[in-house]
């Protein structure tokens, strides 16, 4: 019989954990992130996470006060994995070549995943945004971090005079992220990277059209 999930309890602050405690917490978090990515947050129970991580129920509740606490931690974990892993490319989005290299890496990642799973942040957002306000805010923060990286590169191009004065880096960054998310969703549904390629290529072609050319 699966035990009921406990009510909220104070979780151990991550900053105060020993190295062994941090490793255990990370193992639980990684297991929860994998299960929620594969099956959804709603279909993933604390018992599922406990079994996958190879820990006791009391250990799960020691590090995460309740299921909502764990879900919030998973959103932050996935945001770090998704956006943090792209940092080497995101730091070079201040040129058309850098933008295209980033585009190619995203497409290649979907090929390596056989176009399954979609965006880990977007999937959680779609499932939770209308039922869990705290989760929605966490997902929005993850997307904001992603958008800031895109925007930073476009602002750099604009400040150097490489984009026309009427180009709006803020709007372009938001549209690029929206194109990426829509492309990822259709790629997941169709099991084909063509939608992702089309969405990103359309945005990068638009940005290229705003480039200042020397006469």
88-144 pLDDT, tens digit each? 899 999 999 999 999 999 999 999 999 998 899 999 999 999 999 999 999 999 999
| Residue among 152, 128, 143, 135 nearest 181 (CA) | 143
Does pLDDT of 209 surpass 90? yes
* Largest distance between two CA atoms of the chain: 75
pLDDT confidence bin for 168, thresholds 50/70/90: very high
188-200 pLDDT, tens digit each? 999 999 999 999 9
pLDDT at 10: 53
* CB 173, CB 154: distance < 8 Å: yes
| Residue among 6, 132, 133 nearest 64 (CA) | 6
* DSSP assignment string, 109-144: HHHHTTT-S--HHHHHHHHHTTT-HHHHHHHHHHHH
What pairs with residue 163 in β-bridges? Answer: 211
pLDDT at 16: 73
Q: What is the mean pLDDT of residues 52-71?
A: 94
Token code pair at residue 83: 């956006």
CA 24, CA 55: separation in Å to the nearest integer?
Answer: 8
pLDDT at 4: 46
CA 23, CA 2: separation in Å to the nearest integer?
Answer: 26
pLDDT confidence bin for 87, thresholds 50/70/90: confident
3-45 pLDDT, tens digit each? 445 544 555 556 577 889 899 999 999 999 999 999 999 999 9
Give domain limits for the chain: 14-65, 74-209
Topology of domain 14-65 in CATH is Arc Repressor Mutant, subunit A (1.10.10)
**Architecture, CATH, for domain 74-209:** Orthogonal Bundle (1.10)
């Amino acid at each position: 019989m699966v035990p009921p999930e406990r009510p909220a309890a104070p979780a151990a602050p991550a900053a105060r954990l020993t190295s062994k405690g941090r490793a255990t917490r990370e193992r639980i978090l990684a297991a929860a992130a994998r299960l929620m990515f594969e099956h959804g947050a709603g279909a993933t129970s604390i018992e599922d996470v406990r079994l996958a991580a190879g820990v006791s129920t009391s250990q799960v509740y020691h590090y995460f006060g309740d299921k909502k606490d764990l879900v919030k931690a998973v959103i932050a974990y996935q945001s770090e994995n998704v956006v943090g892993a792209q940092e080497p490319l995101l730091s070079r989005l201040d040129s058309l070549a850098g933008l295209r290299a980033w585009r190619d890496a995203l497409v290649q990642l979907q090929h390596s995943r056989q176009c399954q799973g979609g965006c880990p942040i977007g999937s959680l957002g779609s499932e939770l945004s209308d039922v869990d306000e705290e989760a929605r805010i966490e997902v929005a923060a993850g997307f904001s971090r992603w958008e800031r990286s895109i925007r930073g590169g476009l602002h750099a191009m604009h400040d150097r005079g490489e984009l026309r004065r009427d180009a709006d880096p803020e709007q372009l960054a938001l549209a690029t992220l929206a194109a990426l998310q829509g492309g990822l969703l259709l790629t997941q549904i169709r099991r084909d990277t063509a939608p992702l390629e089309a969405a990103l290529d359309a945005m990068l072609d638009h940005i290229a059209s705003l480039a200042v050319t020397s006469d």
